[in-house]
Amino acid sequence: MSSRLDQVEESATLRIADLTNELKKQGKDIISFSLGEPDFDTPKHIIDAAKKAMDSGKTHYAPSLGIPELRDAIAEKLRTENKIDVKGKDIIVTPGAKHAVFEACFGMLEEGDEAILLEPAWVSYDACIKMSGAKTVWVKSNEDGSIPEDLSSRITKKTKLIIINSPNNPSGTVLGAKDLKKVADIAVDNDLYVLSDEIYEKIIYGVKHISIGSMIPERTITINGFSKAYAMAGWRIGYITGPKEIFQKMVKVQQHTISSPTTFVQYGALEALRGPQDCVEEMRKQFEARREVVIKGFKDMGLHCPTPEGAFYAYPRVEGNSEIIAEKLLEAGVGLTPGSAFGPESNDHLRMSYASSMKDIETGLERMKKVFGGV
Ligand SMILES: Cc1ncc(COP(=O)(O)O)c(C=O)c1O
């Protein structure tokens, strides 16, 4: 049995979702706020494009790195929106951003390497680092999500990679130009790579998303996907671009693990990029409205909960063990993710995904008030 996998935790977000489903099966009324998936259906024009592709025989293997039209469209998006100077040939289309993270880690890390993970962090980075045989070095972000002063002091001869995720899951914080410059300078000074997961780029409230790949392209691996911005989580489609030496390695991982991303799904993704974009803004606005209600709700409960600038999560601080509190909340009929899932020092937080209907959010907050108190 693989000892590498012994060190990898089962996905805590999926575990709580399973527990929630189990309780639901037993007849308990539970509203789940634990999964990071938009509740909206995929916009119709995207579905139509994929249906049309299926009907016209796009059901064979695709080129391993993705259909050329989609790779070109992604490159154009990265050039115009993110100021990353790439061409279609520099893009790998992956079955979700998650697999892209795996490809990047597996492609560049090896036994003895260290990768820096800013805490709190989405659950799968640590797993991908460990599955690649490397070690995770957790560095706690400042309370406001900014880059901590001690980041450079945590770099050793073994450090190869820093992973950043802005807007952040779970905290919703967004890294501004100053913080990104700090990371970029550290990467240059220490000859490191940066993996930038930008999957929540479009779900942002009043601040600007900046790609670190526009600052240090020769050191940045940029990952993005369609699950969040276009409500396409179940389609499993994302993408990655990065420096040539890493790209070549990731190509091998892609070819020998998935062959190619699902062919007709790629036509849906192409329509997502090339078609009308108002659906993205409509969903973003709804997330923003829900954010207001959720943040006010937590404040009314007396919890410290900074207003997130992006993504669709609220990340209140709680007193006590987040896993025990999450269980209490389940008994009260709401499923939240314990902060312990997001790093060794995050057990004093809970994550609530507000990618749920306003009605469920309002009912959920009422139920939480019974646990936390408040007006
Ligand atoms: C930060 C982050 N990156 C990547 C992913 C995975 O995205 P995908 O559905 O494209 O695999 C998620 C999903 O929750 C996420 O929160």
Q: Tens of pLDDT along 13-22? A: 677 777 888 8
Q: How far is the CA of 266 from the centre of ligand 1 (A)?
A: 18
| Structure tokens given for 43 | 């916009």
Task: Please tell me the predicted confidence (pLDDT) of residue 18.
Answer: 79
Q: How far is the CA of 199 from the centre of ligand 1 (A)?
A: 7
Task: Please tell me the predicted confidence (pLDDT) of residue 28.
Answer: 92
Q: What percent of the chain has pLDDT over 90?
A: 90
Atom of ligand 1 nearest to the CA of 311: 16
Q: 169 CB less than 6 Å from ligand 1?
A: yes
Q: 199 CB less than 6 Å from ligand 1?
A: yes
Q: What are phi and psi of 57, to 5 degrees?
A: 85, 20
Task: Please tell me the predicted confidence (pLDDT) of residue 7.
Answer: 84
Atom of ligand 1 nearest to the CA of 237: 10
Task: Please tell me the predicted confidence (pLDDT) of residue 375.
Answer: 56
- pLDDT, tens digit, for every residue of 313-325? 999 999 999 989 9
Task: Please tell me the predicted confidence (pLDDT) of residue 108.
Answer: 96
Task: Please tell me the predicted confidence (pLDDT) of residue 306.
Answer: 95
Q: 165 CB less than 6 Å from ligand 1?
A: yes
Give CA separation, 185 vs 212, 240, 261, 277, in Å. 11, 22, 35, 34
Q: What percent of the chain has pLDDT over 70?
A: 99
* pLDDT grade for 226, boundaries at 50, 70 and 90: very high
- pLDDT, tens digit, for every residue of 139-162? 999 999 999 999 999 999 999 999
Tell me which residue has its CA closest to atom 13 in ligand 1: 36
Q: 237 CB less than 6 Å from ligand 1?
A: no
Q: How far is the CA of 179 from the centre of ligand 1 (A)?
A: 22
Task: Please tell me the predicted confidence (pLDDT) of residue 374.
Answer: 67
Site to substitute for ligand 1 among 33, 124, 258, 312, most atoms within 8 A of C-beta:
124
Task: Please tell me the predicted confidence (pLDDT) of residue 298.
Answer: 96
Hunting for tokens 């896993």 — which residue is that? 323
Q: How wide is the angle at C-alpha 79 spanned by C-alphas 182 and 61, nearest 5°?
A: 115
Task: Please tell me the predicted confidence (pLDDT) of residue 52.
Answer: 98
Task: Please tell me the predicted confidence (pLDDT) of residue 3.
Answer: 86
What is the four-CA torsion angle of 7, 8, 9, 15, rounded to 10 degrees? -150
Task: Please tell me the predicted confidence (pLDDT) of residue 232.
Answer: 98
Q: How far is the CA of 224 from the centre of ligand 1 (A)?
A: 8
- pLDDT, tens digit, for every residue of 22-75? 888 999 999 999 888 999 999 999 999 999 999 999 999 999 999 999 999 999
Q: 230 CB less than 6 Å from ligand 1?
A: no
Tell me which residue has its CA closest to atom 16 in ligand 1: 169
Q: 225 CB less than 6 Å from ligand 1?
A: yes
Calculate the average pLDDT of the chain.
Answer: 95
- pLDDT, tens digit, for every residue of 155-214? 999 999 999 999 999 999 999 999 999 999 999 999 999 999 999 999 999 999 999 999
